């Protein structure tokens, strides 16, 4: 049976897998390289994190140097009005699936709300089924656990991190296909090294190389030579560091393109560059309204440059509005990859705009939602809502959104508002129930439940809390002062078996002695916090005081072996006694299958 003719569900039935085991299945290769890859272009897709439209020299910013991006923009097609989501994880989910992020279950950036349902079909799965070798190098941010992990969503090779941000950019601890290791040097340089290694090792077959850099997302860290250059231009520390990080990305983009030249692959490779949302500070952004997190133009309009020598005319400027939703159907078409997807796509194939004149391209609506705000965008109009307040802007006459014109054009606002409300109702119809963490997948014998993914009972702040107010990536459980309070995680044990339970913690000497119990699936296992471990945070070379937590070295508290039955349950960590002021600070729970 040909894999390309099967849906995921049909494939599972065909091979006779149980429902529990199906949750851990990764899509296999459909065809060998020799059968399916002849004449297919490579794809190099680069996306940066929190780099705004204005963080590019050729977009009118004389304070930043991005010569490689400027050349890339001139050597292929540049989209004049290209849109993404207001923040990181939603953009990634839409880019990878061609579907609005709300349909994929992604509705936040932390606490597991950034996790994409594994049933979604990604661009990596589509290209891998067509004979491509697939690699992701950087920030994933659409699920930290298999099968939502990159290796479960179509990527043969993953090097990077899965959370919304990382804590240190020098000699960072990254993961390679689920296993942590210590990278060397500055993180953007290191990720580029791994991407180049992937390109070189797959030069003789088509590859999809996805490089989602985490710069210039905070924390604000960058090598001296970049930072000093922009401080010498009289910029404040935040802007100087943002521009420095962007120039470092530009240099590394140059290294990637040079590798394609050296391997004589440039003519056979589609190169794309975009960013994931507007700028993460108040800096130059083309006089647009809004920044990261906003549903206004400045929060979601970003660059998209596409180069394919011999196929896409250099210097082409594409005026019709387009979005991240469009990249999956476009690249599948350009790569000759069959679009075997179960769920309907929201994106459109942009090939006629890239290679033809696009003369008959119809107007469309592109929707945006984040928090209590959203927008509907056509070629001319932007309708924006925040709370219950609707506004309308004429984006051709007033690209800076200086004048609200809803009263002058009530019929237009009514039409766009009605379309947005219909879309939102449809996009959210599957709801946002928590996606449980799969435990016991053969592909992932050890699972780490991080503190920031815990649900705090009875609620955060009532005898227990995260370090940060919202439980951002890399936070932990702290201020644990009540035996009535506890963290819990939704888990799905896909294979009954014996599992070793280890807590990663810190605890000061004066707070030792708390009796701990882990409960899951009707089973219990306990221990006592009897060893002090209260280190200072690791030093971090920040240019600007950080909002994120600092890194620490955590101690293991091994509780022993627990037999977990198959099925969905909650794993809870409870304090039975608290002889000191607090129980401990809890970073994570490690669950390792030992059968």
DSSP string for 385-407: EETTEEEEEETTT-TT--S--TT
CA separation for the pair 115, 141 (Å, rounded) = 7
Beta-bridged to residue 219, according to DSSP, are none
CA-wise closest residue to 537 among 168, 237, 219: 168
Catalytic residue among 24, 57, 88, 369: 88
Work out the burial of residue 357: count CB atoms within 10 Å of its CB; fewer than 13 is exposed, 13-18 middle, 19 or more buried.
exposed
Q: Compute the radius of gyration of the chain from its Cα atoms.
A: 24
Please state the separation of Cα 584 from the chain's center in Å.
31
Q: Which two tokens stand for residue 24?
A: 């851990």
Six-digit token string for 245? 């990080």
Residue 506's pLDDT is: 98
Task: Specify which residues 527 forms β-bridges with.
Answer: 516
Peptide bond just before 145 cis, omega within 30 deg: no
Catalytic residue among 57, 101, 141, 217: 141
User: What is the model's pLDDT at position 37?
Assistant: 52
pLDDT tens across the length of the chain (595 residues): 232 333 333 333 332 333 333 346 433 334 444 444 558 999 999 999 999 999 999 999 999 999 999 999 999 999 999 999 999 999 999 999 999 999 999 999 999 999 999 999 999 999 999 999 999 999 999 999 999 999 999 999 999 999 999 999 999 999 999 999 999 999 999 999 999 999 999 999 999 999 999 999 999 999 999 999 999 999 999 999 999 999 999 999 999 999 999 999 999 999 999 999 999 999 999 999 999 999 999 999 999 999 999 999 999 999 999 999 999 999 999 999 999 899 999 999 999 999 987 778 999 999 999 999 999 999 999 999 999 999 999 999 999 999 999 999 999 999 999 999 999 999 999 999 999 999 999 999 999 999 999 999 987 778 999 998 889 999 999 999 999 999 999 999 999 999 999 999 999 999 999 999 999 999 999 999 999 999 999 999 999 999 999 999 999 999 999 999 999 999 999 999 999 999 999 999 999 999 8
Helix (H, G, I), strand (E, B) or coil at 78: strand
CA distances from 172 to 169, 175, 434 (A): 6, 10, 30
Structural domains of the chain, ranges and CATH numbers in brackets: 3-355 (3.40.720.10), 366-427 (3.30.1120.10), 437-593 (2.60.120.260)
87 contact partners, CB below 8 Å, separation of at least 6: 109, 276, 277, 292, 293, 370
In contact, 441 and 147? CB cutoff 8 Å: yes
Q: 141 catalytic, yes or no?
A: yes
74 CB neighbour count, 10 Å cutoff: 14
Neighbours of 563 (CB within 10 A): 12
The answer to whether the peptide bond before residue 458 is cis (omega within 30 degrees of 0) is yes
| CA–CA gap between residue 209 and residue 334 (Å, rounded) | 15
Rounded Cα distance between 212 and 228, Å, is 26
Report field, pTM of the whole predicted structure over 0.95: no
Query: What is residue 22's predicted lDDT score, i.e. its pLDDT?
Result: 39
- Spatial neighbors of 490 by CB under 8 A, at least 6 apart, are 434, 435, 436, 437, 455, 568, 570
Give the other-Cβ count within 10 Å of 87's Cβ. 26
């Amino acid at each position: 049976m040909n894999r390309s003719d099967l849906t995921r569900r049909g494939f599972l039935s065909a091979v006779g897998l149980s429902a529990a085991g199906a949750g851990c299945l990764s899509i296999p290769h459909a065809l060998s390289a020799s059968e399916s890859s002849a004449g297919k272009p490579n794809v190099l897709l680069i996306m940066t994190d929190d780099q705004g439209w204005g963080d590019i020299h050729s977009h009118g910013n004389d304070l930043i140097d991005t010569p490689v991006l400027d050349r890339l923009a001139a050597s292929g097609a540049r989209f004049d009005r290209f849109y993404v989501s207001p923040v990181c994880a939603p953009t990634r989910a839409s880019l990878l699936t061609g579907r609005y992020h709300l349909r994929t279950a992604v509705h936040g950036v932390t606490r597991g709300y950034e996790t994409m349902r594994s049933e979604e079909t990604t661009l990596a799965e589509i290209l891998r089924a067509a004979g491509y070798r697939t690699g992701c190098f950087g920030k994933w941010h659409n699920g930290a656990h298999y099968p939502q992990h990159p290796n479960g969503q179509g990527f043969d090779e993953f090097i990077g991190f899965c959370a919304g941000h990382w804590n240190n950019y020098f000699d960072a601890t990254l993961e390679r296909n689920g296993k942590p290791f210590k990278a060397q040097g500055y993180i953007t340089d290191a990720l580029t090294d791994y991407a180049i290694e992937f390109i070189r090792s797959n030069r003789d077959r088509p590859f999809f190389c996805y490089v989602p850099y985490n710069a210039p997302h905070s924390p604000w860290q960058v090598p001296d030579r970049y930072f000093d250059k922009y401080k010498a231009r009289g910029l404040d520390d935040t802007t100087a560091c943002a521009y420095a990080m962007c120039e470092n990305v530009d240099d590394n983009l140059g290294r990637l393109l040079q590798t394609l030249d050296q391997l004589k692959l440039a003519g056979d490779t589609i190169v794309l560059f975009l960013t994931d949302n507007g700028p993460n500070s108040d800096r130059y952004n083309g006089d647009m309204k809004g920044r990261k997190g906003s549903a206004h133009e400045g929060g979601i309009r970003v660059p998209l440059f596409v180069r394919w020598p011999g196929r896409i005319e250099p210097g082409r400027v594409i005026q019709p509005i387009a979005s991240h939703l469009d990249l999956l159907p476009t690249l599948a078409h350009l790569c000759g990859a069959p679009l075997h997807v179960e769920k309907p796509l929201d994106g459109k194939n942009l090939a006629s705009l890239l290679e033809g004149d696009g003369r008959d391209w119809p107007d469309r609506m592109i929707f945006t939602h984040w928090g209590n705000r959203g927008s509907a965008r056509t070629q001319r109009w932007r309708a924006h809502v925040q709370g219950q307040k609707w506004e309308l802007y004429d984006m051709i006459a007033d690209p800076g959104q200086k004048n609200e014109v809803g009263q002058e054009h009530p019929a237009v606002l009514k039409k766009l508002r009605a379309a947005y409300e219909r879309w939102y109702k449809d996009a959210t119809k599957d709801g946002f129930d928590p996606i449980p963490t799969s435990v016991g997948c053969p592909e992932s014998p050890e699972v780490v439940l991080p503190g920031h993914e815990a649900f705090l009972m009875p609620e955060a702040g009532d005898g227990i809390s995260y370090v940060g107010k919202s439980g951002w990536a890399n936070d932990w459980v702290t201020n644990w002062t009540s035996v009535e309070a506890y963290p819990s995680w939704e888990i799905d044990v896909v294979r009954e078996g014996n599992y070793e339970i280890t807590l990663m913690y810190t605890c000061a000497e004066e707070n030792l002695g708390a009796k701990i119990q882990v409960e899951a699936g009707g089973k219990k296992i306990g221990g006592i916090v009897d060893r002090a471990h209260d280190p200072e945070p690791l030093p971090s070379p920040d240019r600007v005081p950080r909002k994120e937590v600092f890194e620490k070295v955590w101690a293991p508290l091994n509780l022993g072996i627990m037999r977990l039955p198959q099925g969905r349950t909650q794993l809870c960590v409870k304090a039975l006694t608290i002889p000191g002021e607090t129980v401990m600070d809890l970073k994570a729970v490690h669950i390792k299958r030992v059968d």
